[in-house]
Structure 1
């Protein structure tokens, strides 16, 4: 009996029963299926007469399904409707624009990989997204094409891997230029996205996390809601205010400085990158680095164009790698001592 099946070239499915695998009751016993494309064939149909959705749904006992690099323009609805035992789903390197709501019927799913999906721009609606309560790894990569995060993400309290969190601006770029009726339809589908508060209860997050488009924060209180101080498993954190293009500030400089202040990470953090920040000064948790960031090994400050001064870098006891770039207003690096009355 075959329990694990790897198709390196989709052309292998040209055979009526590929590689001798028969489509009968034994197909239900297959647990792992890997499919990878040679990038030269069309993807509307796999092999001769096998539609992808029909082929995949044959194996309803699957626990692991990898459909990477197939250039799929849409995710087969049959995955969510018929593969209810699935624990691991890899959709990396495809061309689909949206994830169907049916994906959220995979209640046992623990890992969903979406890296390299350059056309991906629409999540399932929040009412079904919150049902993926066993999801532990939502792998987007550090530079996804998506412009917002789904409402209700914060209810997926088992998440351990996220990689990237994009702060939506309340009106994603993909809504601009649409007719009013279509805009209303997209807004009704929750495409305004979730704010930093979605991170509040996700205290199992570990590894790398990049919080992007912080320029879209509209209320300084949102930053504190992210609750980064309690995320003890995070090893690397990027705080990015922009993707590098010109942008209009929503908050005042003082409020932007407060946003950074309230995004204080846990002392276990080992790598920190701050980019496109437009405040004049650093946060207090950077100034008192010896006690608040005692384990920091790597620090990068990039394109913080208004930053006047930095705390003494030598105060980071474990620092090994330092990158300071495009700090146009920087005048000095020195110790700053705060004196309080009484």
Structure 2
């Protein structure tokens, strides 16, 4: 467990943070610019000493204002990856990787990390010869070679263009599944949260406004602040099942329901769990199961809640099974005509466009 509890004041902002973060998996710290994401990271790393509070990792106290404990940065066993790679420009990539590498990291471990981030072919180059994505991969490798007990990442993709972001994101997805140390990942991108994180911590004006599994926070109310009217969606954990016998489609299973998606990129993933996003705008409802419809995914649901989004539209939360729900946006006109109330039984019609491959992330 990573315990972070502190109060701190800057000239323009006050922080009051209390969180118990699991010491495993990836915890995304999300919020708007200036909300306090980086300050939280800096307090954990020791780059900022708060006015009061306590920070402890797996029982080891890193900071405690009450007892006067302040473990120096270099003794905290925390590695930080910043927005830029911060490589030494006069050193080769190999020299950068070996800088600060402890003697306990043998050649086998070194090679494992190099291969994990696919940078073997870069080791003789200088930083100026690398792309932005390559530099970040080297920076991540260097951080891991320091054998940290905690990896802190401060918006590592923020300075990259879209192709480089996608490149590094693929490596980060693999990394998240392979390393056995906790990762605190600061970001302002919901796409990165969905693709990488196990847990999600929301920060707003120096306070935590939401914390839990990515699915619970995403599907709850605390994330609504960052979602515009047309951006409501649901996250579901699904299991990859068998392909269709006659058509190029793949069955996914959630809460004993089947969802059919294009069979693209699922090789080797049968019986694996994935994360699926369904946009609320791609879900319509009907009071009876449609006959002769082109929509392949029509599921029985129950109305859990109805929220007015605007003069023209409402947001429905529809229960698939206990603890599993999806959202749908429909017009006020349709809601009134269907006479929808809490507990109404409906059928949700989910358009295939919601199940594109980029909406799936290994989890």
> Which interval holds the TM-score relative to the shorter structure?
0.3 to 0.5
TM-score normalized with structure 2 length: 0.31
More strand by share: 2
TM-score normalized with structure 1 length: 0.32
